[in-house]
Structure 1
Amino acid sequence: MNLMKLWEKHISRRSFLKASGVATGTMLFLSGCNQSKDDDVEADSITNVETVSANTENVTVVPTACYMCAIYCGAKAVVGDEGRVLRIEPNKKDLTSGGGLCPKGNSGVQLLYDADRLKYPMKKTGQYQWEKISWDEAFDTIYEKLTDIKEKYGPETLILMNRRGHYASLLKGFASNYGTPNGPFGSGSICEGGKRVGNKLVLNNTSALADYKNSKYIILMGANQMEAPRYRLAFPKEIIEAKRNGAKLVVVDPRFAYSSAKADEYLPITPGTDAALLMGMAHVIIKENIYDKEFVENYGQGFDIYKKEVLKDKYKPENVEKITGIAAETIIRIAREFATAESAVVDSSSGLYMWSNAVQNQQALQSLNALVGSICKKGGMVYPRGGKTNSIEFTNNATEKKYYAQAGYPSYKGNPHDGNRNIFPAAILTPEAVPAGPLSNAKTTSVNNGNGIKAAIIYNTEPVGAQMNGKLTKEAMEKLEFGIVIDLYLTQTAEVLPVGGIVLPECTYLERTIVNKPTSFVPYLNINQKVTEPQWESKSGHWIFVKLGKRFGYEDFMAMDENDEVGAARDSIEGVEQADGSFADWDELTREGVWIGKDIEPKYGDYDKLKDGKFQFALVGELDEVQELYLKVGGGVTAEYVEPKNRPSKEYPLYFMAGGKVIWHTQTSTRNIPYLMQSFDKNAIVKDTNYLIISPTDAEERGIKSGDRVLVKSKTNEVEVETLVSERVPKGYTHMTHGFGHDAPTLTLANNKGANCSLLVDEKRMDLANCLTAKEETCQVYKI
């Protein structure tokens, strides 16, 4: 059956709410994917807010914030008279959410009361074998093991990883006191590090936000913002508002996703060729002399170098057509429309940044925005001006270089890429012969005097499920001398710790208090407030890290009170001047759940934040450290199209793209929640699993039908998976969502559900920001 028809049979909102017990809850709900050019999508079909007043019930409403993903949407927890959380509702005053919640937000109650949660500290005694221990024994064991490793091999042999842990600053403080430079590394190097480095090169800032609401022409490239928005849940609502006000939405994507369905124009593109399209559009705009000369003259640097590159023959529309598969006449028309619109912006997400040409893609994207004057302009790209909090200063005892810098990989100042998690398996398994990076003259190199990595602290992240070539990650984790996992569950990463490893149960966001700084155009904060006491023996990250620091005797932690996280939250905003000169009000923050400064609109004309007040069309003149290092590792002086390193071949003729964000999940972290796994709907035609999606043509050539089991094979590995034949992917293209394939027996719903697509991706192929290239893999598919 055609997937277009299948998606029209989407699970109803009523079914979800009835199954969840949220009879009057609120969710961000996307209507069916029928293509429309008549703005048939009303705002309520994107953020359908129907919160029932709590006054009609014997309940207490506690303002808090959702943390089912890292967006930090403001929310309200409805608590019954017996102290049980009944449901999660949106906070209509919250800016980052636009007053709505997505399905993940609605399902936070199931996370809170999940019987599969990690309930108390545990010590590994054998494969899938654990024993319950006390918190004191856990801290004593960690102290003894890490002290021994530090004395034997040096503190730099400890690595720390974090993705969604709220208290990463305290974990970083522990690392600094201990003396390791290795972390905590976030998710940038397994996600979109290329975007951050690209932005830093040209904008002098790792972040930039598209002002969708005020734009008249929006191009989304590899960004499924209408289904799974990055940074702000309000983006879909703002895009719809822009469309109502006359904006045109163009979506460029190989895959026909929800955003494609809501576009005024959808352009399927050959994967990995986005910079060619961007440069081709710039070629037309410069050739026809319709660029913003005032911006270029007043706020541009190196334009002549950029212009010379853009006007090369390879960027002529007829040549770009051969690269991208988009017709030359379409490229010309879109370029003209973009350049002459009252305001315009082109933006992307991870679709452009999990390729070996990721940084170049971002240079090209922002250079096109700059070419039409859409930098620091209403309806264009603007600098975020979110709320500020105090940062605790910790003693830094680290003396060695980061492990990946020793191996010849760039270590950009300020870590705009969040470090490098990619080669840590090699640093464990072959520490004397780690694959070397672009700054090394050798093919392999020694790390930490041949000691490599001996211990790891893994905080709310899943390297076994998230790292590319997860099989190698498993082997590496098992070879550690000691490992610690701090999480909500006994994860698959915990299960591959060496015997003697420790797991510590952190509580959920509903069981603790902390102030958040959501991504925002204006100064604003929201707050997680404790809604209920921690379940079982779980503890907040604040309590865990302060206690751990005290056990090691670190002076920086001795004055802290592990039991006063409310005081710590209040102290985090005390005396902090916000970007508009205001100061956050604690009483207002805790009463309303949000605090908003006096500036309530984005700030335009912020050109002084550019390096020397200039957009860097080319990296010329006096360069900063990031620009110098980027050129040193092989980056170009100006934007350009660079062919991806890996392309289909006779042996592996199909593109294989791992990933693709969906509204229902946050990668591996939500796979044990029944609502999100759609286990409540037995009649659903398309289940929530990571099918291998394959085009009808490619399926027919292989004798494959929807529901067949197939073997997907790449140069790195192979997996078995169920297929879904669909016209939503073009010929030569396959796709799987990630986060599946858990090997964690205590996660009764997630265990052995689907396949881990990350197993297929080469972990050694990176971009110039040390970022993994998950969307650049190729494969062959065989019917089983």
Structure 2
Amino acid sequence: MSFKDVSLSRRQFLQLSGATGAAALFGSRLTYFTPAVQASPRLAEDGILYGVCDVCSMNCAYIAHLREGRITHLTGNPADQTAEGKLCVKGQAALRLLYDPDRLKYPMKRTNPEKGIGVDPGWVKISWDEALDLTAAKFKEIRDAYGPQALMVIARGQTWQKHFASSLGTPNLVSHNNTCYTSHDVVWRAMVTGKGKTWTVDYEHSKYILAFGWDGLGKSKNHWGRAVLTALDNGARLVVFDPRLSITASKAHEWIPIKPGTDLAALLAMIHVIINEDLYDHEFVENYTTGFEQLKAQVKDYTPEWAASICEVPAETIARIAREFAATQPAVIASHKRDAGGPNYRNSWQTAACFVIMDTLVGSLDRPGGHILDRQPKLPGLRDVWEFPEYPETIKGPRIDGLEKFPITYQLGKGSFSTLAEGILSQQPYPVKAAFVWRHNVLAFPNPGRLVEALKTLDFIAVSDIMPTEIVQLADVVLPDVTYFESLGLSARQYHAVYPQVALKEPLPAVYDSKGFGTVAREILKRMGLDEYAPDGMDGKGLMQAQLAALETTLEEIKANGGVWGKPKPIEPKIEFGTPSKKIELYATLMEEKGYPPLPAWQPAGAQTSEQYPFHLLIWRRPWHRMTQSQNDPILAELQPENGALLNTQTAQKLGLKAGDEVWVESVAGKIRLKAMLTQGLRPDCVAVDHGFGHWSDALSIANGRGANDGDLIPSRTVEQQLAEGDPGVSAMMEDVVVSVSKVVL
């Protein structure tokens, strides 16, 4: 049976993300998720498994319902403070990933030495022993000949991934962070936590929610959508600054279509109003901050009248909203990753600093209704459980992405996608010869074509992934990974975690011949002769047992408690913060020590419109898609077969375009071909492209060839270019791009 032939309507599927009806719906349509030819091994009986969704970083806990050992449907775990018994449409759809017939089913090796877009790799099936032996042998050969820095691991910096890269001795653990949120991280490290940003905001109890480019509802962030709507029902006010009428903006009391890249000006002016009109929380500022007088002096000339001409928002609107924000408590700046404080513009890190300052001035940092700091228990890591030597000193050496030249981001252990391709191609500060890639697709990078050219220069690439994505097409060895449905562990709550809580992940037996990252990493290290970093018994089960012991609980107790550890309790506001002064540092001394401005100051965006490129590029996300990961789902593909170029109706009229016309969207980096979509909910000087499409892997039977990739419009950058921007977060400047639009002439 083909998934494409299953009779399950779009409307029926969307009912799954509601509060009721899931079990009834799936009772008659089990074959959608469990075709007999792709069925997993059966468990002994019917029942449930507890798990944690990995579709997005909210990581909602779920309950998997089983019939004859196969998952029939999912429900949100009501014991989880994040899920609260609900899952979004993406979380429901992700069950298909487990049984996707396109999944990588067994290890493979490449037989065609040529690599590139549209090139057949000539895959042949091999055993796990051969795949691991081949990978270990190539890594050892290159490590011995060129040094450990010639190896690179592209992966999220999680427990096993950090251990693997460090055990190899390479400094090159590269991740997506600077395309996602390092602008927030560096600011929070310097001003608030001494580490990175925390992601819990108590929207439900807020009375005034002010957003700049934040679209938590439109991205279908499960808890946040419910919390914001609950706050609105309880009388809260929502104001959204965004060039595009997002779903969140559509629910707001006010939508203010600010000029792209100018949010910083509006925020500086609001800070000016709150301070100079004496509207700030004196008690909070006096007791919990440093640097207030320096901040006051810094913003004295940033008046609403000054900002109005920059961001094209009336001065009286800026001043009024500042007064409302200060007068209506608790108030909070809505914030998460790719908002206006995310790595979108060269001034975004200063915008993120203004977010912190605004919350601080009204006393809502780590207070009910505000931005809540981390309350999670510290779980044991690998070194806490097993004895192994210190990692080689080579992990502290120069990196291929140049991150050590950005000391705050470097200390946070993040990575830079925007500089990776140029580093590999220039072979500076040294040549990289081999890469291990875990679940990072090239389509997630700025200028992915440039990265493909860079990766083609490597001698060897091993890829651990679930689906045959574009990065897999460049691999020499493929090591099929498990899904989160097949993974064991504990997950500390990070999103809407107002009290300490940990959720259980129980695994279903693997559907195909796949292995998790920890197992693969351990086997490669052993085969390379690095046994000391892979002691006997080092596995996920052993780590979880140690973590359970640290929590003074057992697996049985967690299951009896509904799949979670931790009981609800009220927010107890912190009186100390993670900075050297133990206070919120409005004047960030760490920034000053590292050569960056300690206070935010006006800086324009890098790219400005011109006659050649008259439009600002905006990138947005649909509620039902997660990055580039979900486009191969047939139901989601029916919801949205492809992406498009969203234009203002007046702009389209001037260009002689109508809805459905094919257009070229072009920047200095490249051009993409899309169909025009028209709306009045967009500034006329903008073009908005929804993210996640443009797949070219022909092994993705549904996603391949649909739409275009917005990353083709975003330039990659050299380390020198990034240094010149003066940004401590190495922001990839994902929307600091201007474009032209023209009709495709057939």
TM-score, normalization by structure 1: 0.84
Q: Deviations over 1:86-141 (max 9, x none)?
A: 11111111111232101111112211111100011111112322111111111111
Per the TM alignment, residue 599 of structure 1 is displaced from its structure 2 partner at its CA by 5.2
1:40-439 alignment to 2 at 5 Å? 48-50=19-21, 52=23, 59-81=46-68, 83-126=69-112, 127-128=119-120, 129-163=122-156, 168-183=158-173, 185-204=174-193, 205-208=195-198, 209-228=200-219, 233-312=222-301, 315-349=302-336, 350-352=338-340, 353=342, 354-393=344-383, 395-399=390-394, 400-404=396-400, 409-412=405-408, 415-416=411-412, 418-431=414-427
Per the TM alignment, residue 492 of structure 1 is displaced from its structure 2 partner at its CA by 0.5
Aligned partners of 1:407 and 1:186: how far apart in 2?
11
Correspondence for 1:657: 618
Correspondence for 2:42: none
Correspondence for 2:627: 667
Letter in 2 for 1:704: L
Percent identity for Structure 1 against Structure 2: 29
Unaligned runs of at least 5 residues, structure 1: 1-13, 29-47, 432-445, 577-582, 680-686
Aligned partners of 1:548 and 1:488: how far apart in 2?
19
Letter in 1 for 2:224: F
1:537-556 alignment to 2 at 5 Å? 537-556=513-532
Contact 1:356 1:768 in 2 (8 A): no
After superposition, the Cα gap between the structure-2 partners of 1:700 and 1:51, relative to the gap in structure 1 and judged at 3 Å, is closer
SS in 2 for 1:396: coil
Correspondence for 1:781: 741
Aligned partners of 2:13 and 2:317: how far apart in 1?
46
Letter in 1 for 2:369: G
1:628 to 577, 588, 593: 593
Contact 1:522 1:600 in 2 (8 A): yes
Per the TM alignment, residue 406 of structure 1 is displaced from its structure 2 partner at its CA by 5.2
Aligned partners of 1:543 and 1:676: how far apart in 2?
32
1:491 to 469, 475, 483: 469
After superposition, the Cα gap between the structure-2 partners of 1:407 and 1:116, relative to the gap in structure 1 and judged at 3 Å, is closer
Contact 2:658 2:678 in 1 (8 A): yes
Correspondence for 2:506: 529
Aligned partners of 2:291 and 2:638: how far apart in 1?
52
1:699-778 alignment to 2 at 5 Å? 699-764=652-717, 766=722, 767-778=727-738
Aligned partners of 1:536 and 1:368: how far apart in 2?
50
Contact 2:468 2:697 in 1 (8 A): yes
1:575 to 546, 550, 553: 550
1:457 has 2:439 as partner:
no
Aligned partners of 1:101 and 1:55: how far apart in 2?
15
Q: Deviations over 1:239-271 (max 9, x none)?
A: 122222221111111110110111122111111
Letter in 2 for 1:522: Y
Aligned partners of 2:370 and 2:643: how far apart in 1?
35
Q: Deviations over 1:623-668 (max 9, x none)?
A: 44x6522xx2xx322122211111111111100123x233211111
After superposition, the Cα gap between the structure-2 partners of 1:698 and 1:417, relative to the gap in structure 1 and judged at 3 Å, is farther
Letter in 2 for 1:646: A
Aligned partners of 2:349 and 2:236: how far apart in 1?
28
Q: Deviations over 1:274-312 (max 9, x none)?
A: 111111111111221111122222222111111111111
Aligned partners of 2:689 and 2:25: how far apart in 1?
41
Correspondence for 1:37: none
Contact 2:666 2:741 in 1 (8 A): yes
Contact 1:124 1:131 in 2 (8 A): yes
Aligned partners of 2:225 and 2:177: how far apart in 1?
23
SS in 2 for 1:177: helix
Aligned partners of 2:59 and 2:12: how far apart in 1?
25
TM-score, normalization by structure 2: 0.88
Q: Deviations over 1:161-185 (max 9, x none)?
A: 124x9xx3222212112110111x3
SS in 1 for 2:232: helix
2:450 to 453, 468, 472: 472
Contact 1:64 1:593 in 2 (8 A): no
Per the TM alignment, residue 591 of structure 1 is displaced from its structure 2 partner at its CA by 4.1
Per the TM alignment, residue 417 of structure 1 is displaced from its structure 2 partner at its CA by 6.6
Aligned partners of 1:517 and 1:414: how far apart in 2?
24
Aligned partners of 1:518 and 1:174: how far apart in 2?
25
Aligned partners of 1:156 and 1:67: how far apart in 2?
31
Per the TM alignment, residue 541 of structure 1 is displaced from its structure 2 partner at its CA by 2.3
1:640 to 588, 601, 617: 601
Aligned partners of 2:210 and 2:403: how far apart in 1?
39
Contact 1:63 1:592 in 2 (8 A): no
Aligned partners of 1:523 and 1:748: how far apart in 2?
42
Letter in 1 for 2:149: E
1:678 has 2:638 as partner:
yes
Aligned partners of 2:11 and 2:675: how far apart in 1?
28
